[in-house]
């Protein structure tokens, strides 16, 4: 049976009635099944984990059975959202009955198989009806049976919040905490261009319910390890630039991680001071995830479409923030991507 129902919303802020209509089919999908498996993208952050936790709590309040399985571990700064450690990591913590007991799958904050990681192969072969709730640009063809996509939403967690409200669910303090974590992650604490009235109104409602801005900001952004501090200097020391300073880049190797006794997640935020340099329009962060594989994070200051560059290499994201993964050694990947970036019209002038 083909359940494919596209419910995409225009990139500009959708009117409130359009957003309500978008959730009608989602409510029917959720009502139809008794148990769900949730998942998100590799290397999840506050939006991915916050969206999963908020939706899990809501579904459980309806009497549904819910299991979360991700291809990557929960980062340390998001572990407080899952105090009982109920998020399982594939393959080490995965058991086949987790999928067999689920009636349906819901994928959050991602719209392409490649970005889900190794667990994607299990999902593609499971034969379960699937839904996707996402806010990124574009979508992979035949990715999910049913898609809710609103590129004007500041975060996937905001969409989950709106869906819960539409279905008459209660926004508990724990759900409010998870959604607020998603919002401050993807808006850069309400600094990025996706910050709008809609995001602020939801944030205000979350605070009224019990979300604590200072405490949540400290958990997400003010909880760096000493390993992260030791990693900062070596990585920033690799800074390079071109196009009269409009393009900047840094890189991180596995050797740098090992020397600092750091984990991959300790690199979060290192790109921010590069992005803040006067005149920089696009910055790139090359991160060696394993030998022969480099993940590139792209951050724009508005004039350059980061997603336009990322999608050339099968990546995803938004105009302001995008990501992609390439095979090859660090030096060759940097040369390839920098050369491609310099072809962008905004960097040539």
230 and 258 assigned to the same domain: yes
3-state secondary structure 148-191: EEECCCCCHHHHHHHHHHHCCCCCCHHHHHHHHHHHHHHCCCCC
Give the domain-ending residue among 190, 221, 252: 221
> Are residues 270 and 301 part of one domain?
yes
Report the range of poorest mean pLDDT among 2-6, 261-265, 275-279, 297-301. Answer: 2-6
Give the tokens for residue 194: 């996706």
Domain boundary among the residues 195, 221, 247 is at 221
Structure tokens at 222: 């003010």
Give residue 24's pLDDT band: very low, low, confident or very high (50, 70, 90): confident
Quick one: pLDDT band at residue 318, thresholds 50, 70, 90?
A: confident
Read off the pLDDT of each residue in 159-181 and give the average, rounded to a whole number: 97
Going by the DSSP 8-state scheme, the letter that residue 7 receives in this structure is: E
Is the pLDDT score of 16 beyond 80?
Answer: no
Q: What confidence tier does 13 reach under pLDDT thresholds 50, 70, 90?
A: very low
Assess whether 118 and 79 both reside in one domain. yes
* CA distances, 127 to each of 6, 100, 103, 104, 260 (Å): 19, 10, 10, 9, 43
- Domain extent for 162: 5-221
Query: 172-208: per-residue pLDDT in tens?
Result: 999 999 999 999 999 999 998 899 999 999 999 999 9
Does 196 share its domain with 248? no
User: Could you give the number of structural domains in the chain?
Assistant: 2
Residue 65 in this model has a pLDDT that exceeds 70: yes
| 239 and 175 in a common domain | no
Q: How is 61-96 classified by DSSP, letter by letter?
A: HTT-EEEEEESSPPPGGGGGG-TT--EEETTTT--H
Full-prediction pTM beyond 0.85? Answer: yes
Distance CA 136, CA 319 (A): 10
pLDDT tens across 245-278, in order?
Answer: 999 999 999 999 999 999 988 999 999 999 999 9
2-11, 21-30, 37-46, 276-285: which range is least confident on average? Answer: 2-11
Cα separation, 56 vs 50, in Å, equals 10
Residues 307 and 334 in one domain: yes
Same domain, 298 and 158: no
Question: With 90 as the cut, is the pLDDT of residue 234 above it?
Answer: yes
Judgement on whether residues 233 and 256 belong to the same structural domain of the protein: yes
Q: What is the CATH number of the domain that holds 265?
A: 3.10.310.30
Examine the fold and report which residue of 182, 199, 221 is the final residue of a domain before the chain moves on.
221
Tell me which residue of 248, 298, 299, 240 sits closest to 277, measured CA to CA. Answer: 248
């Amino acid at each position: 049976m083909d359940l494919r129902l596209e419910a995409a919303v225009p990139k500009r802020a959708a009117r409130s009635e359009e957003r309500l209509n978008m959730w009608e089919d989602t409510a029917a999908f959720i009502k139809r099944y008794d148990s769900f498996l949730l998942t998100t993208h590799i290397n999840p952050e506050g939006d991915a984990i916050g969206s999963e936790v908020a939706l899990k709590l809501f579904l459980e309040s309806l009497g549904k059975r819910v299991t979360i399985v991700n291809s990557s571990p929960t980062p340390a700064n998001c572990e407080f959202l899952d105090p009982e450690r109920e998020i399982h990591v594939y393959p080490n913590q995965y058991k086949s009955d987790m999928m067999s007991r689920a009636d349906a799958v819901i994928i959050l904050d991602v719209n392409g198989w490649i970005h889900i990681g190794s667990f994607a192969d299990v999902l593609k072969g499971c034969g379960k009806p699937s839904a996707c709730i996402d806010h990124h640009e574009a979508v992979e063809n035949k990715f999910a049976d049913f898609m809710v996509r609103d590129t004007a939403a500041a975060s996937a967690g905001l969409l989950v919040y709106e869906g819960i409200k539409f279905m008459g669910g209660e926004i508990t303090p724990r759900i409010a905490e998870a959604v607020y974590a998603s919002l401050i992650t993807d808006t850069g604490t309400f600094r990025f261009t996706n910050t709008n009235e809609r995001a602020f109104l939801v944030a205000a409602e979350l605070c009224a319910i019990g979300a604590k801005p200072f405490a949540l900001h400290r958990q997400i952004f003010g909880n760096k390890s000493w390993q992260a501090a030791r990693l900062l200097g070596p990585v920033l020391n690799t800074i390079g630039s071109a196009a009269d300073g409009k393009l900047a880049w840094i890189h991180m190797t596995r050797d740098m991680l090992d020397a600092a006794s750091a984990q991959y997640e300790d690199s979060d935020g290192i790109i921010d001071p590069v992005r803040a340099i006067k005149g920089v329009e696009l910055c790139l962060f090359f991160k060696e995830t394993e030998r022969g594989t480099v993940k590139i994070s792209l951050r724009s200051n508005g004039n350059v479409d980061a997603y336009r560059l990322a999608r050339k290499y099968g990546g995803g994201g938004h105009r302001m923030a995008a990501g992609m993964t390439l095979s090859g050694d660090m030096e060759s990947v940097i040369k390839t991507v920098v050369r491609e970036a310099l072809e962008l019209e905004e960097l040539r002038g």
